Amino acid sequence: MTDLAKHKLAAQRIEKLNHADMTDLCDATIAAIEKDGGFGWVTVPERDVLERYWKGVLAVNLRDLFVVRLDGAIAGTAQLIKFPPNNQAQSFSAQLTTFFIAPWARGFGLGEMMIDTIEQHAKSINLNIINLDVRETQFNAIKLFRKMGYVQWGMNPYYAMIDTRIIPGYFFHKIIQPLPSITPIET
Ligand SMILES: CC(C)(COP(=O)(O)OP(=O)(O)OC[C@H]1O[C@@H](n2cnc3c(N)ncnc32)[C@H](O)[C@@H]1OP(=O)(O)O)[C@@H](O)C(=O)NCCC(=O)NCCS
């Protein structure tokens, strides 16, 4: 039996975090920030700040929170941010963000499983497009997004600042289910 086959992998949308889940989620977040960041935090915040952050995410209707589990423990997370109802023009799309797998859980296929689960959920709520952006230096994530069919459409040379270094960012989209017939723009 391979090491991978010994482990139980799972991905899900989560609407409540019990005490054990909150502890696991904060531990995973801290480990990921310490390793390579990649989702906003450059330095590790205090634990109570992190807990308030995750509680806040659950409280916001426009954010759907997803986690992956390795042998039951939360080992990574991502969010799908939808547009508010007043933005009818963009309501067919959403933004995948705050995505990471804890360093100790990488290489098991959990990243791919997370994206699959998010895409299934996005289809179930009738979204057509998922957008995302990522720092140029997150090589593994870029490889993963390309493998999962995300298409790069842009690059911002001034995307993030780590210490005093400016890092470019790449912008991707994926059509997860067919768009309504497109009317060409008249020129
Ligand atoms: C990117 C990340 C989410 C991948 O998670 P993971 O669970 O290790 O990924 P998986 O095991 O599902 O790997 C799937 C694919 O991702 C790519 N990949 C992941 N880790 C890789 C590595 N170390 N080297 C090369 N490619 C890698 C590969 O395409 C891989 O497919 P393959 O095994 O067929 O080559 C994880 O490394 C991470 O959290 N990185 C830091 C945070 C980050 O960059 N987040 C994205 C910000 S938007």
CATH number of the domain enclosing 121: 3.40.630.30
- Domain assignment present for residue 186? The answer is no
**What is the average pLDDT across 9-38?**
94
- Tens-digit pLDDT profile for residues 149-180: 999 999 999 999 988 999 999 999 999 999 87
Residue 9's pLDDT is what?
98
Instruction: Indicate if ligand 1 lies below 6 Å from the C-beta of 52.
Output: no
Residue 83 burial class via C-beta count within 10 angstroms: exposed 0-12, middle 13-18, buried 19 and up: middle
Residue 74's pLDDT is what?
98
- Domain assignment present for residue 133? The answer is yes
Query: What is the best residue among 115, 140, 172 to mutate for testing ligand 1's pocket, by most ligand atoms within 8 Å of CB?
Result: 140
Residue 58's domain comprises 4-175
Sheet containing 9-13: order of strands: 9-13, 63-70, 73-82, 93-101, 129-135, 165-175, 151-162
Alpha helices in the chain (DSSP H): 19-35, 47-59, 110-124, 139-147
Give the residue carrying structure tokens 């609407």: 15
> Contact at 8 Å (CB) between 77 and 41?
no
- Domain assignment present for residue 87? The answer is yes
- Domain assignment present for residue 12? The answer is yes
Number of domains in the chain: 1
- Domain assignment present for residue 187? The answer is no
- Strand 93-101 with 129-135, pairing: parallel
> Contact at 8 Å (CB) between 132 and 96?
yes
- 141 CA to centre of ligand 1 in angstroms: 5
